[in-house]
């Protein structure tokens, strides 16, 4: 158990990356540094991408432009330079030398560090984990591509295929690494975090892969100026994603804030909706629910008491446990009606509608409703307290009422509350 | 575009005939098959982009990155570039979109034709270098790159940048002309807003215009396949933009639904927040407020009374004079509202509107007793609409006041309670756009009926004098 608390995966990743960078620096120092201007251009490009990180839904940090820039530097075939007339009056071009894999790793690492400095200066996270994952992926691609490179000159079709495959491979390596780290952070199942990661990121991944291809072949024709030209469309795409992620975050913020109306109105305990939603999320994750379902669960848990607004006077102490099933049903249905009026949260409305149903009745409620029901009951029994005895007593009581509360959900509840006190979920 | 005015028809006719004059110049015999192959691929690229635009605002706007294809034509079609670009733009007429009427198709096609021609002519006038095209068989047989090709790009970049800007300006200018002409005579819809602000749209267009150059570069290596490669990032961007617009609509709908839920507590104020939000938007437009602030003031109007939930129902329902404690409970509602929405990051300035919407110009309002210009602009706007909506709605103790009478009442209190400038702006906006007529509401029985309204300036709350 001691191993789990120090986040093995992250530690392993960081130390591996650190030694990789040291080896790259040493290797590059011993060998001849190739094409300094190209290295500088790509290094700045990577740094620029790292500067423009974005936070995707679910709090994932991504740096698509940096990833695509690093992948293109690893697989660049040749770069057009202005031909000039030599001493004999012949039009010639200086030959281009590809950067060896260790130099690619070093340049990418330097670019990433430069790009992350402003983040650190602004007091944001340095994002070491994300950078390490990207760097490891780029290193793999660079080492695989290097021996293939000389077979690919003047065969654009074959080159396109190989580069596309390797770019996809690099992106997958990064995604798998991040999914492992995320599973560790959230204490979720690895298979679930991986499929979540792929679902959230595949479109951006596609853009990363194709952007790398465009950069590589564009620079072959236009020279390094292509990097500047292509930055325009990339910025627009990046900005579109930023706005999308921003509105998702705002949405959650709004629902969180407005779910407090029941607290301000004195219908429920202060902090109740927030605690029930955190607990429901933890249970849902323990049960292996995928991210879209977890999001719906979070919204439903936040708003599960909104139906109480239909009551003229708050229930004393907000204790929905003590309300008759008919009233509980009326409250749940009114809440679902309110949420249904948004026209976009149908699934959430369903979860709220069936929260009053006992687990083993004639109708089976959706899993999310069962989770909310158990989390709500638990919070009403325990309140905001982190007292171990009260927690244990509440769980014993929920286990006894197996017809009311789904045993599997209660078992998950017991696991998550045992792992961390409720106040730290 | 339901019924077009004669000015609009004239406008469309001028643009369409300009486009026709441009297209009449096509030299049908001289350009070789290479021209037509390149044109066909670019036209297809344009068509694919233009057929799946993102819809902005109230469905009057649609945006797509199709101009990248037009601008690539400028570079790739050599001396026929201007005509070629015009022809690519004309493809908008057969854009695969339902619900697009013939007039709209004609206008779009003509507009893109003119814009493409203008860009192409600019490029030629600036002596921009063309990109030598590789045809399909060269690509398939792996013909080597011409080492001088990078020179062409060096000489094409700046003329291309100017041409791209010309394209963006002509495109936006013509669309704006249309929207301005078409807007006259239709009732305003202050709720609708472009999901993607105008400066952003311009920046996005310029950014994607650069893709025209990238397409040309890829064309040198991959020939016509270049079109397929650039489509991928274009569609990813489109997806994100579409998701943004969708989530923004969902967000607004959710906000509205939750405000309605709060209103169910009090029968007579149903629809109040929505109307105040609308009225605040009308004032914002009248006084020429920046788009993002206008949006914020609408949110403030929507949420201004959320804190009323913190006022015990029995106080809201009480008939007759209130005790000082009860009055204090009512006065607390702006602060309660603030407490609820404080954590919503995007509200920023809207928070001031929520907190201070019961301040008075003479300093006798609550919660802070601010006077005159101390009161934030948002709060002064909401105060006016709030009182107006209360007066023009029916209450248990009185019928609804007529709109002219309510405006007169606002003018009477201007200076003491309301900001005269805001009152004037609101009067002008109501005069122009009207105010939704409300059906006299009949309670159905189970609702809570309040017998006072803290917003009503004609019947202020009566507080028991302390003896």
Beta bridge partners of A92: A84
Contact B244 A93 (CB under 8 A): no
Partner-chain contact A218 B214, CB within 8 Å:
yes
Q: What is the pLDDT of residue A177?
A: 95
DSSP annotation of B440 reads P
Name the least confident of A25-29, A295-299, A305-309: A305-309
A64 and A238 Cβ atoms separated by less than 8 Å:
yes
Q: Which chain A residues touch B206 with a CB distance below 8 Å?
A: 232
Chain-chain contact of A341 with B448 (C-beta, under 8 angstroms)? no
Mutation target among A229, A336, A349 for the B interface, most CBs of B within 10 A = A229
CA distance A283 to chain B (A): 26
| Chain-centre distance for alpha carbon B282 | 14
Which pLDDT value is given to residue B116?
94
In this predicted structure, the answer to whether residue B325 has a pLDDT above a threshold of 90 is: no
What 3-state class would DSSP assign to B398?
A: strand
Nearest chain B alpha carbon to A307:
B261
Task: Write down the pLDDT at residue B187.
Answer: 41
pLDDT of residue B244 exceeding 50 = yes
Q: Which among A91, A225, A251 has the least Cβ separation from residue B251?
A: A251
CB atoms B244 and A240 under 8 Å: yes
- A61 bridge partner residues: A55
C-alpha dist (Å) from residue B309 to A267, A339, B320, B333: 10, 18, 21, 8
* Option in A160, A255, A265 nearest B310 (CB): A265
CB spacing of B247 vs A312 below 8 angstroms: no
B375 — pLDDT class (breaks 50, 70, 90): very high
Per-domain boundaries in chain B: 6-246, 264-433
Whether the per-residue pLDDT at B112 is higher than 80: the answer is: yes
Q: Note whether A239 contacts B339, CB cutoff 8 Å.
A: no
β-partners of residue B414 are B418
Q: Note the pLDDT tens digit of each residue in B53-65.
A: 877 655 567 778 8
Q: Give CA angle at A21 (A17, A22), nearest 5°.
A: 115
Burial class (CB in 10 A: 0-12, 13-18, 19+), B186: exposed
Q: At what angle do helices A101-121 and A128-149 cross, to 10 degrees?
A: 160
- Least confident interval from B185-189, B390-394, B452-456: B185-189
Token pair for residue B182? 């078409």
pLDDT at B189: 43
Residue with tokens 């239909």: A310
Confidence label for B386 from pLDDT (cuts 50, 70 and 90)? very high
pLDDT in tens, B348-357: 888 888 899 9
- Count contacts between A and B (CB, < 8 Å): 206
B264-433 maps to CATH 3.40.50.12280:
no
User: Is A221 close to B221, i.e. CB distance below 8 A?
Assistant: yes
Nearest to B229 among A213, A225, A240 (CB): A213
Scanning B94-196, the segments in alpha helix (DSSP H) are: 102-125, 136-140, 149-183
Residue B376 has pLDDT above 50, yes or no: yes
The tens digit of pLDDT for each residue in A347-364 reads 999 999 998 888 887 888
- Using CB atoms and an 8 Å cut-off, which of residues 253-312 of chain A contact chain B? 253-258, 260-261, 264-266, 306, 309-310, 312
- The C-alpha atoms of residue A42 and residue A48 are separated, in whole angstroms, by 10
Distance (Å) from the alpha carbon of B424 to chain A's nearest alpha carbon: 33
Portion of chain A with pLDDT greater than 90, in percent: 46
Comparing CB atoms, the residue among A81, A260, A345 nearest residue B254 is: A345
A360 inside 8 A of chain B by CB: no
Q: Name the token pair of B375.
A: 């009161």
Of B147, B232, B339, the CB nearest to A210: B232
What pLDDT shows up at residue B60? 63
A 69-108 residues inside an 8 A Cβ radius of B: 80-83, 91, 93
Please indicate if any CB of chain B lies within 8 Å of the CB of A318: no
CA–CA distance, B178 with B13 (Å, rounded to integer): 12
Per-residue pLDDT averaged across A187-197, rounded? 89
The pLDDT of B138-148, averaged and rounded, is: 63
Q: How far is A47 from chain B (nearest CA, A)?
A: 20
- The domain ranges of chain A are 2-252, 259-424
The per-residue pLDDT for range B412-451, each reduced to its tens digit, is 999 899 999 999 999 999 988 888 876 655 555 555 556 6
When pLDDT is averaged across residues B136-154 and rounded to a whole number, the result is: 67
Return the ∠ at Cα A148 (arms to A143 and A149), rounded to 5°. Answer: 95
Q: What is the pLDDT of residue B450?
A: 64
Q: What is the pLDDT, as a whole number, of residue B197?
A: 65
Nearest CA in chain B to A203: B236
CATH class for the domain made up of A259-424: mainly alpha
Nearest Cβ partner for A80 among B150, B310, B344: B150
Q: How far apart are CA B201 and CA B199, in angstroms?
A: 5
For residue A301, pLDDT beyond 90: yes
In contact, B359 and B370? CB cutoff 8 Å: yes
A5 vs B302, residue with greater confidence: B302
Q: Give the residue ranges of DSSP H helices in A341-419.
A: 346-353, 367-382, 388-400, 407-419
Residue A371 CB: number of other CB atoms within 10 A?
A: 32
> Mean pLDDT, chain B, as a whole number?
82
CA distance A263 to chain B (A): 9
pLDDT above 90 (res B382):
yes
Q: Within its chain, how far is the Cα of B55 from the centroid? A: 10
Q: What is the pLDDT of residues A87-110, one digit of tens each?
A: 776 766 667 788 899 999 999 999
Specify the range with the lowest mean pLDDT, choosing from A369-383, B141-155, B199-213. B141-155
The candidate with the shortest Cα–Cα distance to A65, out of A248, A243, A244, A239, is: A239
The Cα angle at residue B347 between residues B345 and B353, in degrees rounded to 5: 145
- Whether residues A222 and B255 touch (CB distance < 8 A) is answered with no
Res. B312: pLDDT tops 60: yes
The verdict on a CB contact (< 8 Å) between B248 and A214 is: no
Q: Specify the pLDDT at position B185.
A: 44
- For residue B322, the 8-state DSSP code is B
Given a cut of 70, whether residue A317 has pLDDT beyond it is no
> Which residue in chain A has the smallest CA separation from B332?
A264
**Do the chains contact at B153 and A221, CB–CB below 8 Å?**
yes
Average pLDDT of span A183-211 = 90
Q: What's the pLDDT at B267?
A: 66
A383: left (phi over 0), alpha (psi -120 to 50) or beta: left
pLDDT-derived band at B1 (thresholds 50, 70, 90) equals very low
DSSP code of B395?
Answer: B
CB contact under 8 A, A339 and B257: yes
Residue A217, chain B, CB below 8 Å: the answer is yes
Residue B255: closest CA among chain A residues belongs to which residue? Answer: A254
Q: Measuring CA to CA, which residue among A106, A75, A104 is closest to residue A168?
A: A75
Residue of A nearest to B200 (CA): A236
Partners of residue B145 in chain A, C-beta under 8 Å: 220-221
Residue among B204, B241, B340 minimizing CB distance to A260: B340
CB contact under 8 A, B344 and A254: yes
Residue A86 has pLDDT above 80, yes or no: no
Of B214, B257, B307, the CB nearest to A229: B214
Chain B interface mutation, best of A76, A80, A270, highest count of B Cβ atoms under 10 Å: A80
Percent of chain A surpassing pLDDT 70: 92
Query: Hey, are the CB atoms on A156 and B142 less than 8 Å from each other?
Result: yes
Distance between CA A87 and CA B110 in Å, rounded?
54
In this structure, of A170-184, B74-88, B259-273, B336-350, the range with the lowest mean pLDDT score is B259-273
Phi, psi (deg, nearest 5) at residue B52: -130, 65
Residue B54 vs residue A392, higher pLDDT: A392
Contact A197, A187 (CB under 8 A): no
Long-range contacts of B201-207 (CB under 8 A, 24+ apart): B201/B56, B201/B63, B201/B172, B202/B168, B202/B172, B203/A236, B204/A236, B204/A239, B204/A240, B204/B63, B204/B65, B205/B67, B205/B168, B205/B171, B205/B172, B206/A232, B206/B164, B206/B165, B206/B168, B207/A232, B207/A233, B207/A235, B207/A236
Contact with chain B for residue A392, Cβ under 8 A: no
Closest chain B C-alpha to A255 CA, distance in angstroms: 8
The pLDDT confidence band at residue B372, using thresholds 50, 70 and 90, is confident
Instruction: State how far the Cα of B207 lies from the Cα of B228, in Å rounded to an integer.
Output: 19
Contacts with B251 from chain A: Cβ below 8 Å = 247, 250-251, 254
DSSP string, A54-85: EEETTTEEE-HHHHHHHHHHHH--------EE
Q: How close is the nearest chain A Cα to the Cα of B139, in Å? A: 8
Look at strands B61-63 and B54-56 and give their pairing.
Answer: antiparallel
Maximum mean pLDDT: which of A42-56, A385-399, B448-462: A42-56
Give A343's contacts in chain B (Cβ within 8 Å): 253, 257
Closest-CA residue of B relative to A213 is B229
């Amino acid at each position: 158990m001691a191993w789990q608390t120090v986040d093995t995966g992250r530690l392993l990743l960081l130390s591996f990356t650190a030694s990789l960078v040291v080896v790259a620096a040493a290797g590059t120092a011993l060998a001849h540094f190739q094409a300094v201007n190209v290295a500088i251009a790509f290094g700045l490009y990577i740094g620029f991408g790292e500067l423009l990180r974005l936070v995707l839904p679910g709090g994932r940090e991504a740096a698509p432009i940096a990833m695509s820039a690093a992948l293109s530097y690893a697989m660049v075939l040749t770069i057009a330079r202005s031909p000039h007339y030599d001493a004999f009056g012949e039009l010639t071009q200086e030959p281009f030398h590809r950067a060896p894999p260790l130099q690619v790793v070093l340049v990418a690492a330097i670019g990433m560090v430069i790009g992350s400095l402003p983040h650190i200066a602004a007091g944001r996270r340095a994002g070491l984990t994300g950078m390490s994952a990207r760097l490891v992926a780029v290193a793999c691609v660079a080492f695989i591509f290097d021996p293939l490179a000389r077979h690919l000159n003047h065969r654009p079709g074959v080159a396109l295929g190989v580069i596309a495959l390797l770019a996809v491979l690099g992106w997958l390596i990064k995604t798998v690494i991040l999914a492992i780290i995320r599973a560790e952070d959230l204490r979720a199942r690895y298979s679930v975090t991986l499929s979540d990661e792929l679902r959230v990121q595949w479109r951006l991944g596609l853009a990363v892969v194709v952007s790398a291809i465009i950069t590589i072949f564009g620079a072959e024709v236009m020279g390094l100026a292509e990097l500047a030209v292509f930055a325009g469309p990339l910025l627009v795409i990046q900005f579109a994603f930023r706005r999308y992620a921003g509105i998702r975050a705002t949405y959650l913020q709004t629902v969180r804030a407005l779910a407090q109306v029941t607290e301000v109105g004195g219908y429920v305990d202060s902090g109740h909706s927030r605690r029930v939603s955190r607990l429901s999320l933890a249970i849902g994750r323990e049960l292996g629910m995928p991210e879209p379902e977890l999001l719906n669960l979070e919204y439903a848990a936040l708003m599960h008491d909104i139906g109480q607004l239909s009551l003229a006077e708050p229930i004393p102490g907000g204790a929905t446990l003590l309300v008759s099933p008919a009233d509980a049903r009326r409250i749940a249905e009114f809440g679902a009606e309110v949420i249904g009026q948004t026209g976009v949260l149908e699934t959430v409305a369903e979860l709220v509608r069936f929260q009053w149903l006992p687990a083993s009745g004639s109708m089976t409620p959706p899993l999310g409703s069962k989770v909310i029901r158990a989390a709500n009951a638990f919070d009403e029994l325990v309140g905001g307290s982190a007292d171990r005895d009260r927690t244990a007593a509440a769980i014993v009581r929920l286990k006894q009422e197996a017809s009311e509360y789904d045993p599997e959900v209660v078992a998950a509840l017991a696991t998550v509350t045992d792992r961390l006190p409720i106040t730290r979920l | 575009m339901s019924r077009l005015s004669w000015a609009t028809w004239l406008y469309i006719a001028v643009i369409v005939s300009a486009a026709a004059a441009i297209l009449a110049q096509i030299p049908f015999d001289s350009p070789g098959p290479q021209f037509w192959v390149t044109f066909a691929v670019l036209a297809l690229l344009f068509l694919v982009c233009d057929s799946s635009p993102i819809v902005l605002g109230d469905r009057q706007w649609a945006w797509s990155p199709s101009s990248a294809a037009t601008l690539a034509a400028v570079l790739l079609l050599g001396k026929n570039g201007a005509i070629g670009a015009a022809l690519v733009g004309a493809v908008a007429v057969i854009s695969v979109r339902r619900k697009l009427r013939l007039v709209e198709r004609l206008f779009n096609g003509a507009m893109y034709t003119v814009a493409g021609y203008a860009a192409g002519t600019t490029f030629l006038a600036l002596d921009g270098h063309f990109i030598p095209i590789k045809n399909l068989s060269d690509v398939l047989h792996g013909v080597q790159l011409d080492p001088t090709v990078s020179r062409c790009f060096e000489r094409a970049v700046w003329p291309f940048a100017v041409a791209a800007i010309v394209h963006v300006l002509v495109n936006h200018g013509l669309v704006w002309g249309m929207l301005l002409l078409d807007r006259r005579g239709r009732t305003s819809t202050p709720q609708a807003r472009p999901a993607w602000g105008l400066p952003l749209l311009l920046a996005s267009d310029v950014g994607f215009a650069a893709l025209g150059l990238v397409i040309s570069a890829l064309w040198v290596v991959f020939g016509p396949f270049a079109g397929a490669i650039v489509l991928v990032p274009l569609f990813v961007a489109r997806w994100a933009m579409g998701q943004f617009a969708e989530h923004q609509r969902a967000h607004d709908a959710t906000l509205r639904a939750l405000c309605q839920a709060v209103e169910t507590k009090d029968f007579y104020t149903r629809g109040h927040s929505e109307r105040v939000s609308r009225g605040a938007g009308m004032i914002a437009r009248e006084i020429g407020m920046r788009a993002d602030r206008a949006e914020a003031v609408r949110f403030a109007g929507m949420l201004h009374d959320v804190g009323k939930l913190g006022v015990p129902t029995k106080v809201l329902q009480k008939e007759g004079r209130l005790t000082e404690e009860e009055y204090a409970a009512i006065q607390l509602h702006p602060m309660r509202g603030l407490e609820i929405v404080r954590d919503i990051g995007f509200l920023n300035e809207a928070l001031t509107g929520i907190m201070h919407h019961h301040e008075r110009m003479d300093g006798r309002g609550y919660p802070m007793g601010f006077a005159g210009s101390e009161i934030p602009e948002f709060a002064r706007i909401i105060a006016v609409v709030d009182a107006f909506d209360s007066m023009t709605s029916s209450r248990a103790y009185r019928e609804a006041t007529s709109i002219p009478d309510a405006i007169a009442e606002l003018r009477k209190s201007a200076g003491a309670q309301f900001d005269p400038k805001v009152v004037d702006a609101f009067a002008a906006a109501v005069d122009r756009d009207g105010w939704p007529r409300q059906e006299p509401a009949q309670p159905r029985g189970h609702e809570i009926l309040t017998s006072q309204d803290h917003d009503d300036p004609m019947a202020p709350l009566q507080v028991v004098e302390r003896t």
